């Protein structure tokens, strides 16, 4: 079976690992595609080391950002440059297994719209510092999408180019790009599957900043929910405030014998959230539709 696969690798100062990653991707796809078409695109995002040189020497096409624009921005530049109907992404730090890509492409061929490498195997060495933040954001995302999410922001995934193009304009420039891809796919009704993978200790220093980047992940999650299905956020808020307002109203009527300001404000706020949610839902349906 002939494959047309574009692999996009965002990299910033990954000179120690990028050659091995490119070589691993090329070997995996060459073996699986049996002569089919593929390309490996490395986006060097403001690197100050030999990332670009090493990637070219390993056989990748290299796009260079003179200054760092962010993980998501690097991915989006690679997406715009990709030529083939299937697009895979993998980080350039050596943490993800390139040999998993052919199996993920096979899932796309069988009908999936997005295949996410899920770091759930016994060999998945997720840094301890990241685990609380990942757990918090994953729980929130599962609640909003009403689906279990084994791995929210995996940096190894494969997508159909057609589905990717429908959301690429909405993707943020930072680390939350992959979070948005996951949530957008689930809320848009894509066929999303999870591919268990190992996760290795990275080469070099992580660019992830727990406090700042976790805040951006949460903000990106909320933004994606509001864009694709705003009632999942606004309706629960309106219902909770409505119940509280009803309880306060009952207390005021039967105990105080007079409606208080807090009852009126709570009830009006509930109504505002409901109306805002309905308006946002109308706009989202027009934009997404």
Per-residue pLDDT of the chain (289 residues; tens, 9 = 90+): 456 999 999 999 999 999 999 999 999 998 775 457 999 999 999 999 999 999 999 999 999 999 999 999 999 999 999 999 999 999 999 999 999 999 999 999 999 999 999 987 655 555 565 667 677 788 888 988 999 999 998 999 999 999 999 899 889 898 889 999 999 999 988 999 999 998 887 665 666 666 676 777 788 888 888 888 899 999 999 999 999 999 999 999 999 888 899 999 999 999 999 999 999 888 877 765 5
CA dihedral 134, 135, 137, 139 (to 10 degrees): 150
Do 24 and 95 form a contact (C-beta atoms < 8 A)?
no
pLDDT for 27 equals: 95
Identify any residues that bridge with 160 across adjacent strands, giving them in sequence order: 86
pLDDT for 127 equals: 58
pLDDT for 34 equals: 47
pLDDT for 122 equals: 53
pTM for the model stands at 0.82
pLDDT for 44 equals: 97
pLDDT for 1 equals: 42
Do 79 and 41 form a contact (C-beta atoms < 8 A)?
no
* Domain boundaries, given as residue ranges, for the chain: 4-228, 231-288
To which CATH superfamily is domain 4-228 assigned? Spore Coat Polysaccharide Biosynthesis Protein SpsA; Chain A (3.90.550.10)
């Amino acid at each position: 079976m002939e494959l047309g696969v574009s692999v996009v690798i965002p990299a910033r100062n990954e000179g120690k690992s990028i050659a091995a990653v490119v070589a691993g991707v090329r070997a995996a796809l060459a073996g699986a595609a049996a002569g089919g078409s593929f390309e490996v695109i490395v986006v060097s995002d403001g690197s100050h080391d030999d990332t670009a040189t090493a990637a070219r020497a390993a056989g990748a096409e290299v796009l260079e950002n003179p200054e760092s624009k962010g993980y998501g921005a690097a991915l989006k530049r690679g997406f715009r440059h990709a030529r083939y109907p299937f697009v895979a992404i993998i980080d350039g730090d050596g943490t993800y297994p390139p040999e998993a890509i052919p199996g993920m492409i096979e899932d796309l061929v069988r009908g999936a719209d997005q295949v996410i490498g899920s770091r759930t195997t016994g060999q998945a060495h997720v840094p301890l510092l990241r685990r609380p933040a990942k757990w918090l954001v994953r729980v929130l995302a599962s609640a909003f999408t009403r689906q279990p999410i084994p791995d929210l922001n995996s940096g190894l995934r494969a997508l159909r180019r057609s589905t990717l193009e429908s959301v690429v304009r909405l993707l943020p420039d930072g680390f939350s790009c992959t979070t948005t891809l996951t949530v957008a796919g689930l809320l848009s009704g894509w066929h999303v599957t999870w591919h268990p993978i190992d996760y290795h200790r990275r080469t070099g220093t992580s660019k992830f900043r727990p406090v700042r980047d976790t805040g951006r992940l949460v903000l990106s999650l909320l933004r994606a929910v509001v864009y694709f299905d705003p009632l999942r956020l606004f309706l629960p808020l309106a219902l909770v405030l409505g119940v509280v307002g009803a309880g306060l109203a009952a207390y005021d009527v039967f105990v105080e014998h007079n409606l208080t300001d807090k009852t009126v404000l709570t009830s009006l706020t509930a109504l505002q959230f409901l109306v805002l949610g309905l308006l946002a839902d109308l706009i989202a349906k027009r934009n997404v539709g």
